[in-house]
Amino acid sequence: MRKVSGASVAASGQWTEPDGVRAPAGSVHAWVPGTNQTVCGLALSREALLRFPHVPWAEVQPATGIHADEVSDVCPRCAAGMGARRGERRWSRTNPRP
């Protein structure tokens, strides 16, 4: 799976923030605007996913996201497609040979 950049969000639900902005809720997936499917390959229409082109993928991550208040689940396949790692840090050489 190749790494995708510039993805927005598709979600199973929505809620309205106090300032009147529509925000994703429920299960969220990465979606590239202009396509009809998520990064993990789900068809938006078949899964009844709502599109949020104004919300970048980074803003729905539970640890740091602004719009992550009502997000219950982040698709692990979409996260992998966006370049996320499973908690481990990338490999680096600590004591290289001369």
pLDDT tens digits, one per residue of 2-29 = 566 789 999 999 999 889 999 999 999 9
Residue 90 vs residues 21, 87, 93: alpha-carbon distances, Å:
36, 9, 10
Which tens digits make up the pLDDT trace of 43-81?
A: 999 999 999 999 999 899 888 888 888 899 999 999 888
Domain ranges of the chain: 8-81
- Dihedral sign of CA atoms 47, 54, 41, 69 in order: negative
Cβ atoms of 28 and 19 within 8 Å: the answer is: no
C-alpha dist (Å) from residue 95 to 88, 89, 90, 92, 98: 19, 17, 15, 9, 9
For the whole model, what pTM was predicted?
A: 0.80
